[in-house]
Chain A
Amino acid sequence: MAVRTRSLFALAMLSGGFSLVSAALFVALDAVDVAFTEAAVGAGISTVLMLGTLALTSRYERAPAHKPWLPLFVVTVTGAALIYGTLDMPDFGDPNAPAMRHVMPEYLERIPHEIGVPNIVTAILASYRGYDTMGETAVVFTAGIGVVALLAALARRRRRGEEEES
């Protein structure tokens, strides 16, 4: 399915819908935690933030000044490389997949009596991979600080400038 439009509002809505569909895809793959995140972040927050950005800029995309052939070529080559990469992936639900054999059996065995949290994903994320999750939280924090420093401070300075002028 292909959609061509220059209306950025429609594009924001479509990307939200796409996120919701991929969340359903994650549910079909039994990755419920990931699906939950995708639905909340992809379909919810990012659509709202995109609409917020739209309100700051224009509603319609300008017609591009150059021909689309070079970008199309780059995208096609990248897509082909990615699809070629998936050919080596193990089958869906394959018990001999590396992800199932490496540390997973040990986690599954240790979590019930070491952590006592029935949701294996939470146990791994928060306890065994606590460092990673702390790093992720720090990344989210840094992103927030960055946006506040760039946008909020600028708005405040501009407002102060207007007050001085008037």
Chain B
Amino acid sequence: MRHHLILRVITKILAGTIMLFAFYVQFHGDYSPGGGFQAGVILAVAFILYGLVFSVETVQRVMPPWLVHRAMALGLLLYAGTGVAALLLGYNFLDYAALNAHDPEHGQELGILLVEGGVGITVTAVMLSIYYAFVGRTPVIGDEEW
């Protein structure tokens, strides 16, 4: 898409904004609608949009496939690890009150933050790797073919 000037300029402006919005949804999810799942999808969209307009190779320089594949597992491990941490501290599995023995309410908040972070990482990585897997097989389409 070399000659699509408007698309390229708009994408450059939007990609950062979309990422910022994704982080807002992620970390403000305790107060407003949203959470790890939505934030993960939005963050992935920022990369996918960039990949669509520029090229997959450009995105893969920032987010190489090996990193994305590991991040898929990392997010789930962060989630389950929070649960196991509670277990090791003598509480029930995924009982976040364990994370702050003096103030269970703060422990709950911290636990939710970690768990939502795990969901966000996994969802971003899965969406991106599905996109990579689809695009990696495609012969590049010329602009006229659409």
Residue contact B65 to A152, C-beta cutoff 8 Å: yes
Q: Which residues does chain B contribute within 8 Å of A138, judged by CB atoms?
A: 76
Residue contact B138 to A55, C-beta cutoff 8 Å: yes
- Tell me the bound Cα distance from A35 to B33 in angstroms: 9
Residue of B37, B69, B72 ringed by the most chain A CB atoms within 10 A: B37
Residue contact A114 to B108, C-beta cutoff 8 Å: yes
Interface string of A85-125 (1 = CB under 8 A from B): 00000000000000000000000000001111111011101
Residue contact B72 to A145, C-beta cutoff 8 Å: yes
Residue contact B105 to A114, C-beta cutoff 8 Å: yes
Q: Which residues does chain A contribute within 8 Å of B132, judged by CB atoms?
A: 152
Q: Which residues does chain A contribute within 8 Å of B34, judged by CB atoms?
A: 33, 36
Chain A contacts with B in 3-50, Cβ cutoff 8 A: 9, 32-33, 35-37, 40-41, 44-45, 48-49
Min CB–CB distance A14 → chain B (angstroms): 16
Q: Which residues does chain A contribute within 8 Å of B30, judged by CB atoms?
A: 117-119, 122
**Number of A residues whose C-beta is below 8 Å from B?**
48
Chain B contacts with A in 64-98, Cβ cutoff 8 A: 65, 69, 72-73, 75-76, 79-80, 83, 94, 96
Q: Which residues does chain B contribute within 8 Å of A41, judged by CB atoms?
A: 41
Min CB–CB distance A149 → chain B (angstroms): 9
Q: Which residues does chain A contribute within 8 Å of B42, judged by CB atoms?
A: 40, 44
Q: Which residues does chain B contribute within 8 Å of A49, judged by CB atoms?
A: 130-131, 134
Given A44-B45, A126-B115, A138-B76: A151 in contact with B134 (beta carbons within 8 A):
yes
**Number of B residues whose C-beta is below 8 Å from A?**
55
Q: Is residue A76 contacting chain B, with contact meaning CB distance below 8 A?
A: no
Which of B41, B45, B136, B141 touches A151 (beta carbons < 8 Å)? B136
Q: Which residues does chain B contribute within 8 Å of A122, judged by CB atoms?
A: 29-30, 35, 112, 116
A interface vs B, CB < 8 Å?
Answer: 9, 32-33, 35-37, 40-41, 44-45, 48-49, 52-53, 55-56, 113-119, 121-123, 125-127, 130-131, 133-134, 136-138, 140-141, 143-145, 147-148, 150-152, 154-155
Sample of 18 A–B contacts (CB below 8 Å): A32-B33, A40-B45, A41-B41, A44-B45, A52-B135, A114-B104, A115-B108, A117-B30, A118-B30, A119-B29, A121-B35, A134-B76, A134-B94, A137-B76, A140-B123, A147-B129, A148-B129, A152-B133
The 9 closest A-B pairs by CB, nearest first: A144-B126, A52-B134, A151-B133, A130-B94, A116-B105, A32-B33, A126-B112, A40-B41, A152-B133
